[in-house]
Amino acid sequence: MQKPIYPSLVLNGVDLYSQHQAWMCAAEGLTCDRRVGLDCVEPVRLVMRGADLCGAALRYANLHGADLRYANLSCADMRYTRLSGARLSGADLSCVDLRNANLRGANLRGANLHYTNLSGAYLRYANLACAYLCRVALRGAEKGN
């Protein structure tokens, strides 16, 4: 069976800055002076290595297979986001709201998940090796191979 060919949206090192909206991360006193609104985004093979998405609104976004290695997603709202098969190794996911997100098979190796809310998230086959998991909320998360 041949793999489907998808066009890519490549945004390496992008900084999606928005001066209009201010965002404060309540946990740990982190501040972020930008707010990116990408609610319900459905990109095809999104590549955003090293992107600064601090405080981004990514609720319900379809980021299946996205390349977000070393991206700054701290304080982002990623509830119900589809991140299955996403590459998030080395990403900063501190204080991120990932409630009910689908992280099946996602690579989170070495990611910073400090104060991240993973309640109700689907984590089967996710790679969490060497990930920083301090004070992570996992109530109702589905874990396993």
Contact 118/139 with Cβ under 8 angstroms? no
Please say if the pLDDT value at position 43 is more than 70: no
- d(C-alpha 75, C-alpha 7), whole Å: 29
Assess if residue 62 is contained within a domain: yes
Assess if residue 60 is contained within a domain: yes
Q: What's the confidence (pLDDT) of residue 125?
A: 96
Domain count, the chain: 1
Assess if residue 10 is contained within a domain: no
Please compute the mean of the pLDDT values over residues 17-23 and round it to a whole number: 33
Assess if residue 49 is contained within a domain: yes
Please compute the mean of the pLDDT values over residues 107-119 and round it to a whole number: 97
Q: What's the confidence (pLDDT) of residue 85?
A: 95
Give me the CATH number covering residue 42.
2.160.20.80
Please say if the pLDDT value at position 122 is more than 90: yes
- d(C-alpha 137, C-alpha 34), whole Å: 25
Distance, CA of 61 to chain centre: 10
How sure is the predictor about 29, in pLDDT bands with cuts at 50, 70 and 90? Answer: very low
- What are residue 47's phi and psi, to 5 degrees? -120, 110
Q: Please, what's the largest Cα pairwise distance for the chain?
A: 50
Assess if residue 5 is contained within a domain: no
Assess if residue 53 is contained within a domain: yes
What is the residue range of 102's domain?
23-145
pTM tops 0.85, yes or no: no
Listed residue (112, 92, 109) closest to 48, CA to CA: 92
Assess if residue 43 is contained within a domain: yes
Assess if residue 3 is contained within a domain: no
